[in-house]
Chains A and B, each alone.
Chain A
Amino acid sequence: MARKPTPAAKTTVTLLAWTIGFLIFFPILWTVLMSFHSEGDAIKSPVEMLTSVWSFESYAEVQTRSNYGLHFFNSVVISVGSTLLALAIAIPAAWAMAFVPGRRTKDVLMWMLSTKMMPAVGVLIPMYLGFKNMGLLDSRLGLVAVMTLINLPIVVWMLYTYFKEIPGEILEAARMDGASLRSEIVYVLTPMALPGIASTLLLNVILAWNEAFWTLQLTTHDAAPLTQFIASYSSPEGLFYAKLSAASTMAIAPILILGWFSQKQLVRGLTFGAVK
């Protein structure tokens, strides 16, 4: 029988957890704090900065200089679109791998993962030429396609892990009751794996939202998402910390809010099947 933790141990663990949480969150907190100061104050020591005048000056300038609405819309279309498309492909693929595995299923899974091991810049020129020839440069459709392909291995792997936890007998029972393959996946498997699918969806929306290599390389103006909005405020010659912080805060705010409201679902999904 497990020993009950002492109050002191509980307090220590709680304090440790809060400290780690604060350390992880600190860069975001500091970015937000910097965004409410002038460029001159943002480069001062932390105490001087925090005691200087607070203002919305940086936000006002960022709003004047950039079309936030267009970048935000592009980010939503690219991240949500690519995640939904990836799920549509990955759910049947993960079903096949989990419930009717072949001799090479493990190898296929490893091969899929291996595509994530190559540095993205290694395929930049062929990808760029392909996009140019297909007329997909600076298009949302092109970005949805590329983000789908980038995140597909992770989506398949996550769903495969969740599906493996679902007893195959339940699906067999559905089949005996006359369910077709489509009905089995849509009406039996999907509802049972909903927490897993939801957390996969959320995680991939976040990954696609934050992706900053392909979104910067393959877009210019019309399809440029929030990553380009942020990149436009960095400068090697001149002070930019406050404006960059304001732009970053505006870019990460939607995804932070989404994460905050869905944290229970996210944690439940991520720990699904962790204890066997």
Chain B
Amino acid sequence: MTMTLRALLGATAALALTGMAMAETTEITVATVNNGDMIRMQGLMDDFYAKNPDIHVNWVTLEENVLRQKVTTDIATKGGQFDVLTIGTYEVPIWGKQGWLVSLDDLPEDYNKADLLPAIAGGLTVDGHLYASPFYGESSMVMYRKDLMDAAGLTMPDAPTWTDIEKAAAAMTDKSKEQYGICLRGKAGWGENMAFLTAMSNSFGAKWFDMDWKPQFDQKPWADTLAFYLHLMNDYGPPGASNNGFNENLALMQQGHCGMWIDATVAASFVTGKDSTVADKMAFALAPDNGLGKRGNWLWAWSLAIPAGTQKEAAAKAFVNWATNPAYLELVASKEGWANVPPGTRTSLYANAEYAKVPFAKMTLDSINAADPTHPTVDDVPYVGVQFVAIPEFAGIATEVGQQFSAALAGTTTAADALAAAQELTTTEMTKAGYIK
């Protein structure tokens, strides 16, 4: 009887202690996208728990578009389901202005805010306040087959023009061998073909809106952009390109069907990775220009932000500081090698002699530095954003415009009709939204 009583008392005490320990643990929910760097971070959580034993992280990993819809609904309704959000450079300026995000100006000193790459930090800062901390940054660049260029007797300049690209695409195309000179995004969507075409249009001097927010698809620079894109894709691109996004082009490139691919710098690690049949034949160059002072590259950063209204701000900040601190880059390097460190966020990373040995490191930095979200194109514009316009209406409008341009690539409409439709629908939406009086 005494034994039983002792056992019961012991069990009760153990339960009480466990309960106390659990009560002291703060649980935070982190919403994130499914990409290699984010998944790698989830595998390194032991380091976070060792440093923050009183915080437990619940992960919600979702496909980018599902995550965007879900997180937008939650933050707009102040649902409070998430304590840390993974968002991009498109959302940060809009949500920061709305007061939906917590300022990260007070992160600890070892976070070293001054070390962030200026182009990336600029895209995440609203009215002088940092509203999201970059986890990885990317631009776009030319990834090409050096062996095919050599065979054609051509050399790709480090900073090519669109004329260089056209010449290289023509030389590398051999459709009888299913070898296409160039692969570009054709699938409709604001983050698909319109990300590429908007960035490309900047180098042609085109812009989405003039200073009075009047759409500019009826102007010559947009006509030149679309005509050149269609010429490249129709003459040197793969069949069915209007359905190709990042992953489809990645598969084509990895299997040796593309001579060139202009897309996200993050793709460099994939085309030189173990699944690529052309890993040792790849070389890189800056996105092309047209001699107008702007290159056709974009700027994007997946960043961690804290929604205003979270009840666990201190724990959320501890997590953001850990995941985007310079020490995290060293942690990844020590466990997985420098090539797997999240790129494009910190100046110190590119000053590191070990990281400089990664084949695409310098080109990634140069590409990021070549993009300026506050002055994206040749003329002055009233908006911020290189491959997007940071206004809430953009995603909807650009997806519709993307459908028109994708149809032109598929051959179901002409370039002139696609541009006319884009001009009309953008004017209608911008008038409805009150930008055009």
Contacts of A132 in B (CB 8 A): 77-80
Decide yes or no whether A128 CB sits under 8 A from chain B: yes
Decide yes or no whether B35 CB sits under 8 A from chain A: yes
- Is there an interface contact between A220 and B255, defined as CB atoms closer than 8 Å? no
Find residues 45-61 in chain B having any chain A CB closer than 8 Å to their own CB. 58-61
- Is there an interface contact between B60 and A239, defined as CB atoms closer than 8 Å? no
Q: Nearest CB to that of A241 among chain B residues?
A: B247
Most buried by B among A38, A216, A220: A220
Whether A235 touches B33, Cβ cut-off 8 Å, given contacts A43-B251, A137-B81, A216-B66, is yes
- Is there an interface contact between B251 and A239, defined as CB atoms closer than 8 Å? yes
Decide yes or no whether B106 CB sits under 8 A from chain A: no
With beta carbons under 8 angstroms apart, the residue of A43, A124, A234 that contacts B255 is A43
Give complex CA distance A132, B75 in Å. 12
Contacts of A2 in B (CB 8 A): none
Decide yes or no whether A27 CB sits under 8 A from chain B: no
Distance in Å: Cβ of B335 to nearest Cβ of chain A: 16
Give complex CA distance A137, B60 in Å. 14
Decide yes or no whether B29 CB sits under 8 A from chain A: yes
Q: Among the listed stretches A76-84, A197-205, A224-232, which one makes contact with chain B, having 4 or more residues with CB under 8 Å of it?
A: A224-232
Give complex CA distance A151, B81 in Å. 26
Decide yes or no whether A72 CB sits under 8 A from chain B: no
- Is there an interface contact between A231 and B62, defined as CB atoms closer than 8 Å? yes
Decide yes or no whether B274 CB sits under 8 A from chain A: yes
Give complex CA distance A238, B78 in Å. 32
Decide yes or no whether B124 CB sits under 8 A from chain A: no
Decide yes or no whether A7 CB sits under 8 A from chain B: no
- Is there an interface contact between A232 and B77, defined as CB atoms closer than 8 Å? no
- Is there an interface contact between A237 and B246, defined as CB atoms closer than 8 Å? yes
Contacts of A138 in B (CB 8 A): 81
Contacts of B264 in A (CB 8 A): 237
- Is there an interface contact between B33 and A43, defined as CB atoms closer than 8 Å? no
With beta carbons under 8 angstroms apart, the residue of B61, B62, B247 that contacts A238 is B247
Contacts of B63 in A (CB 8 A): 231-232, 234-236
Most buried by B among A40, A220, A221, A237: A237
- Is there an interface contact between A220 and B31, defined as CB atoms closer than 8 Å? yes
Give complex CA distance A236, B138 in Å. 14
- Is there an interface contact between B255 and A44, defined as CB atoms closer than 8 Å? yes
Give complex CA distance A220, B66 in Å. 12
Decide yes or no whether A129 CB sits under 8 A from chain B: yes
Give complex CA distance A149, B383 in Å. 44
Whether A235 touches B70, Cβ cut-off 8 Å, given contacts A43-B251, A65-B39, is no
Contacts of B35 in A (CB 8 A): 235, 237-238
- Is there an interface contact between B82 and A235, defined as CB atoms closer than 8 Å? no
Give complex CA distance A38, B254 in Å. 14
Distance in Å: Cβ of A222 to nearest Cβ of chain B: 8
Decide yes or no whether B34 CB sits under 8 A from chain A: yes
Decide yes or no whether A240 CB sits under 8 A from chain B: yes
Distance in Å: Cβ of A133 to nearest Cβ of chain B: 10
Contacts of B79 in A (CB 8 A): 128, 132, 137
Decide yes or no whether B64 CB sits under 8 A from chain A: yes
Contacts of B65 in A (CB 8 A): 236
Contacts of A38 in B (CB 8 A): 275
Provide the B178-195 mask, 1 if CB < 8 A to any CB of A, else 0.
000000000000010000
Give complex CA distance A161, B35 in Å. 49
Contacts of A125 in B (CB 8 A): 73, 76-77
Find residues 169-187 in chain A having any chain B CB closer than 8 Å to their own CB. none
- Is there an interface contact between A235 and B250, defined as CB atoms closer than 8 Å? no
Decide yes or no whether A39 CB sits under 8 A from chain B: yes
Give complex CA distance A217, B58 in Å. 17
Decide yes or no whether B36 CB sits under 8 A from chain A: yes
- Is there an interface contact between A129 and B77, defined as CB atoms closer than 8 Å? yes
Find residues 113-144 in chain A having any chain B CB closer than 8 Å to their own CB. 124-125, 128-129, 132, 137-138
Contacts of A231 in B (CB 8 A): 62-63, 66
Give complex CA distance A123, B62 in Å. 22
- Is there an interface contact between A238 and B80, defined as CB atoms closer than 8 Å? no
- Is there an interface contact between B255 and A228, defined as CB atoms closer than 8 Å? no
Q: Nearest CB to that of B189 among chain A residues?
A: A236
Decide yes or no whether B350 CB sits under 8 A from chain A: no
Decide yes or no whether B213 CB sits under 8 A from chain A: no
- Is there an interface contact between B77 and A40, defined as CB atoms closer than 8 Å? no
- Is there an interface contact between B34 and A232, defined as CB atoms closer than 8 Å? yes
Decide yes or no whether A233 CB sits under 8 A from chain B: yes
13 contacts across the A-B interface (CB closer than 8 A): A43-B251, A43-B255, A65-B39, A128-B74, A224-B60, A231-B62, A231-B66, A232-B60, A232-B62, A235-B33, A236-B63, A240-B34, A240-B247
Task: Return the 7 tightest CB-CB contacts between A and B, nearest first.
Answer: A40-B275, A234-B63, A232-B61, A43-B251, A235-B34, A221-B58, A220-B81
| Apart from A216-B66, A220-B82, A238-B35, 14 more pairs, CB < 8 Å | A38-B275, A128-B79, A132-B80, A216-B62, A220-B29, A220-B81, A228-B60, A233-B34, A236-B65, A236-B247, A237-B35, A237-B247, A237-B266, A237-B267
